[in-house]
């Protein structure tokens, strides 16, 4: 009997070990949350500097040194919402329980509002939803663009701290709900600066808002609408890339579906026909909501046409054999203009099921990209080269040098000071194995460690920065 008990205990021990190996689909872990990690700051629509934060969810007990990452983006019509509100924390918890590291991020919010507004008798005053009465449709495109830039900056930030978070820089994904879904889709698919929307270049100043919208803005605010810069934004440029391997879109939409064709990737879509905020086919944003509330509040004008989840799915389907792996949960539950549904079709009806569907779509891609949990903590495949395999010229130098690497491949370069702190640099590739590295103006002279990381190799060497 004792022998039988021992055998059963041993089998149970083996089963517990097996359960600890993540498949990135099955919920099997507890998780921790680290809140309000600053990943940078940038200028908001009103000219004010906004500090940006993220919450980081990590599985506990997965024994995995290279966890895949998913970046989550909250909704709120680009005027509100938060990384710790709505359905986002529940989505994050589901993925962390599956063995993913999840970053729920905040991004820049706010838009310039209309110069004219008539208050309807039954419409609440000081209602945050009123702040979506934008001065023109350009404000929507500019809000999406700023949020996309912040998302790309957060992705680079997370890749730079991959070693401390035990994450896999080759397997980063992005997902969002509502306004955040727009950001997720544009982060995934708007991959060339030539695709930058015309609305995101310099525009004439915004008009002075109607007094009814004063509560929407922090005074004083700038009405200037400058060029918003590169699609990549300004955070952590040159320190890591911002590529992603998959995207999930919960009740979001896109203006131009053709931009998807340049950078096809695994895509998940969820949308309900009953959604009155973002129509699942093609319509102006908030158009159905305006119809629902026409006797209560003034309609939302100046909204752009957008194609929702039904048409995103159709676009991918029409690609035939050229389409990437995708999964679409389109719920044909109602097309009536019914504002009494709560939420009015604008929510995730079954978070455990939807996150499982996403995980089943993404997990094989993670494996294809070389992530095997059984081998992820083995370091024999990483070669650390000495400085003899690298060439920095000039060294010492004045904060600008050429770096030659031994392999012709894409690498990530970062610089750390003697205390291990990251230093802002700009990196430009000038040949197959040569990069130009430039220190930003706020860097101080001293001794720096130059770290070069590729998928299979790691190098480091010393650089001396003089100011003369």
Buried/exposed 77-109: b ≥16 CB within 10 Å, e otherwise: bbbbbebbebbbbebbbbbbbbbbbbbbbbbbb
* Four-point Cα dihedral 222, 225, 229, 231, nearest 10: 110
Q: What is the pLDDT of residues 301-323, one digit of tens each?
A: 999 999 999 999 999 999 999 99
Task: Indicate whether 297 pLDDT > 60.
Answer: yes
Q: Which residue has the higher pLDDT, 288 or 355?
A: 355
Q: What is the pLDDT of residues 123-149, one digit of tens each?
A: 888 889 999 999 999 999 999 999 999
Least confident span in 107-116, 166-175, 337-346: 337-346
Instruction: Look at residue 329 in the predicted model and tell me its pLDDT.
Output: 97
Banded model confidence at residue 48, pLDDT cuts 50, 70, 90: very high
How far, in Å, CA of 204 to CA of 80, rounded?
25
| Annotation: CATH topology of 383-465 | Immunoglobulin-like (2.60.40)
Q: Check residue 368 and give left, alpha or beta (phi > 0: left; psi -120 to 50: alpha).
A: alpha
This prediction has a pTM of 0.78
| Annotation: CATH topology of 20-368 | Rossmann fold (3.40.50)
Percent of the chain with pLDDT over 70: 89
- In 3D space, the residue among 144, 213, 137 whose CA is nearest the CA of residue 181 turns out to be 144
Q: What is the pLDDT of residues 199-232, one digit of tens each?
A: 999 999 999 999 999 999 998 889 999 999 999 9
CB 451 within 8 A of CB 460: yes
Q: What is the pLDDT of residues 330-371, one digit of tens each?
A: 999 876 655 655 556 899 999 999 999 999 999 999 999 999
Task: Indicate whether 468 pLDDT > 90.
Answer: no
From the CB of residue 195, how many other CB atoms can be counted at a distance below 10 Å? 15
Task: Enumerate helices (H) and strands (E) in the chain, giving the number of each.
Answer: 8, 20
Domain with CATH 3.40.50.1820 in the chain: 20-368
Task: Indicate whether 10 pLDDT > 50.
Answer: no
Task: Indicate whether 415 pLDDT > 70.
Answer: yes
Domain with CATH 2.60.40.10 in the chain: 383-465
Banded model confidence at residue 387, pLDDT cuts 50, 70, 90: very low
């Amino acid at each position: 009997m004792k022998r039988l008990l021992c055998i059963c205990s041993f089998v149970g021990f083996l089963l517990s070990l097996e359960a600890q190996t993540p498949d990135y689909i099955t919920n099997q872990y507890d998780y921790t949350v680290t809140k309000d990690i600053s990943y940078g700051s940038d200028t908001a629509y009103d000219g004010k500097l906004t500090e940006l934060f993220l919450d980081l969810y990590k599985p506990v007990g997965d024994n995995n040194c290279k966890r895949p990452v998913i970046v989550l983006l909250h909704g709120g019509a680009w005027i509100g919402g938060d990384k710790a509100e709505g359905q986002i924390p529940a989505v994050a918890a589901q993925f962390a329980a599956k063995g993913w590291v999840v970053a729920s991020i905040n991004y820049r919010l706010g838009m310039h509002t209309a110069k004219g507004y008539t208050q309807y008798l039954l419409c609440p005053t000081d209602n945050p939803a009123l702040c979506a009465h934008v001065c023109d449709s350009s404000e929507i495109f500019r809000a999406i663009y700023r949020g996309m830039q912040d998302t790309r900056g957060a992705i680079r930030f997370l890749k730079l701290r991959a070693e401390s978070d035990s994450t896999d820089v080759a397997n980063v994904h992005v997902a969002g709900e509502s306004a955040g879904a727009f950001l997720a889709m544009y982060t995934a698919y708007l991959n060339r600066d030539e695709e930058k929307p015309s609305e995101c270049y310099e525009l004439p100043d915004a008009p002075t808002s109607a007094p009814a919208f004063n509560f929407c803005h922090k005074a004083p605010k700038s009405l200037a609408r400058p060029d918003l810069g590169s699609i990549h934004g300004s955070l952590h440029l040159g320190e890591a890339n911002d590529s992603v391997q998959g995207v999930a879109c919960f009740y979001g939409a896109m203006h131009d579906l053709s931009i998807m064709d340049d950078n096809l990737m695994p895509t998940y879509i969820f949308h309900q026909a009953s959604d009155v905020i973002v129509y699942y086919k093609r319509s102006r944003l908030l158009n159905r909501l305006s119809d629902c509330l026409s006797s209560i509040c003034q309609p939302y004008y100046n909204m752009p046409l957008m194609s929702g989840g039904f048409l995103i799915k159709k676009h991918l389907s029409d690609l035939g054999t050229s389409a990437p792996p995708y999964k679409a949960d389109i719920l044909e539950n109602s097309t009536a203009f019914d504002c009494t549904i709560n939420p009015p079709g604008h929510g995730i009806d079954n978070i455990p099921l939807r996150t499982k569907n996403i995980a089943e779509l993404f997990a094989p891609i993670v494996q294809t990209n070389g992530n095997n949990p059984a081998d992820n903590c083995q370091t024999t495949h990483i070669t650390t080269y000495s400085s003899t395999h690298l060439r920095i010229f000039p060294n010492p130098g004045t904060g600008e040098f050429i770096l030659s690497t031994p392999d012709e491949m894409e690498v990530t370069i970062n610089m750390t000071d003697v205390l291990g702190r990251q230093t802002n640099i700009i990196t430009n590739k000038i040949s197959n194995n040569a990069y130009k590295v430039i220190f930003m103006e706020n860097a101080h002279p001293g001794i720096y460690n130059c770290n070069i990381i590729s998928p299979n190799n790691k190098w480091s060497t010393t650089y001396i920065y003089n100011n003369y």
